[in-house]
Structure 1
Amino acid sequence: MAHGSDRIEKQILLKAPRSRVWRALTDARQFGEWFKVKLDQDFAAGQRVTGKMTYPGYEGFPFEATVDRVEPEVVFSFRWEPGAEPGTTGGVATLVEFRLEDAPGGTLLTLVESGFDRLPAHLRDKAFRGNDEGWSLQTQNIKAYVEA
């Protein structure tokens, strides 16, 4: 799928019902298990969520996001400052969207992170590359988690 430097897009077929995938995305404890983060709050539209990463190599890194949309079993999205300690992008956030669709044999998950073009130039490439790689790993993590 072609994209410019502004957006990352990943699609993965998950052999699990939509309700199962939705819970893995939006239940803070389940999200934490596959994403490898310990969250301090539950996800709710407009809610600021903080926590600490448990991902190997990133243990203790702060996680901060603001929940954008919660449309049950359709779309879950949040904004965060990508690829860096919170506060280093000058407050510029990207939008991370998880979209769910029924598909033969399970659920099609489409992940889009957009808004990289608004980041300070010296951070843009590093954040894009890091998150592109990160989402490739995380889509495999959620696949393993919901198919277990």
Structure 2
Amino acid sequence: MEYGTIEREIYIEASPEVVFDVVSNPKHVREWWSDEAEFGPEPGKPGWVGFGDLTQDGHKAQLTVADAVPYTHFSFRWTHEEGEVAARGNSNLVVFELVPSGGGTLLKFTESGFRERGWDEAKAAAQHADHSNGWDHFLSRLGAYAATVGAAR
């Protein structure tokens, strides 16, 4: 079994401009993915996403924007340790590619970097399965949320 990359494609009933805003703006990210988010759109600037109640048993994951090309591409590295600079080998790379399609957007999603982390087979498999299940859930939420944002514009 290969645990290197997660790939998904979904069609979203919203323009690439709307979908780009939904995946790259923390105020929107909090609506479909994380409970909290703080990051800027500039590549290289560190930030984070939070899941659950951070004052209790929640989890905060580091996030650094890798690239942001309005309406076509947004990527970030995440899951690196606090205080580390995100790089290949210490973080995963998430990429959202946006392709106009009909009246909406084909979103091509990938997350890679599981193998490069140096984890043993069991940990790589567990992390890949956890992220794969999570993205299945959150990408469906992203599609539904982006469609409502697009309809409101």
Which digits, 9 at most, give the CA deviation of each residue in 1:29-61, with x for residues without a partner?
A: 111111123123333211111242149xx9621
Aligned to 1:17: 15
Q: Corresponding residue for 2:60? A: 62
- Aligned partners of 1:41 and 1:95: how far apart in 2? 16
For residues 37 and 69 of structure 2, the distance between their equivalents in structure 1, rounded to whole angstroms, comes to 21
Change (3 A) 1:144 1:54: farther
SS at match of 2:145: helix
Normalising to structure 2: TM-score of the pair?
0.81
Q: Which residue of 2 aligns with 1:48?
A: 46
Where structure 2 has 5 or more consecutive residues not aligned to the other structure, the ranges are 83-88, 149-153
Identity of aligned residues (%): 25
Look up the equivalent residue of 1:97 and give its one-letter code.
V
Query: What corresponds to 1:99 in structure 2?
Result: 97
Distance (Å, rounded) in 2 between the aligned partners of 1:81 and 1:96: 11
CA contact (8 A) 1:52 1:59 kept: no
Q: Is contact 1:43–1:49 with CA below 8 Å preserved after alignment?
A: no
Conservation of the 8 A alpha-carbon contact between 2:35 and 2:49: yes
| In 2: Cα distance, 1:18 partner to 1:59 partner | 36
Deviation, structure 1 residue 116: 1.1
- Kindly state the Cα deviation for residue 132 of structure 1 after the two structures are TM-superposed: 0.7
Q: Is the 8 A contact 2:39 2:63 kept in 1?
A: no
Hey, what's the Cα distance between the residues in 1 that align with 2:52 and 2:28? 13
Seen in structure 2, the aligned counterparts of structure 1 residues 71 and 45 have a Cα distance that, compared at 3 Å, is: same
Please tell me the root mean square deviation across aligned C-alpha atoms, in Å: 2.2
2:137 is equivalent to residue 140 of structure 1: no
Q: 2-side partners of 1:43 and 1:54: how far apart? A: 23
CA distance in structure 1 between the aligned counterparts of 2:39 and 2:72, rounded to whole angstroms: 22
CA contact (8 A) 1:37 1:63 kept: no
Number of residue pairs matched? 138
TM-score by length of 1: 0.84
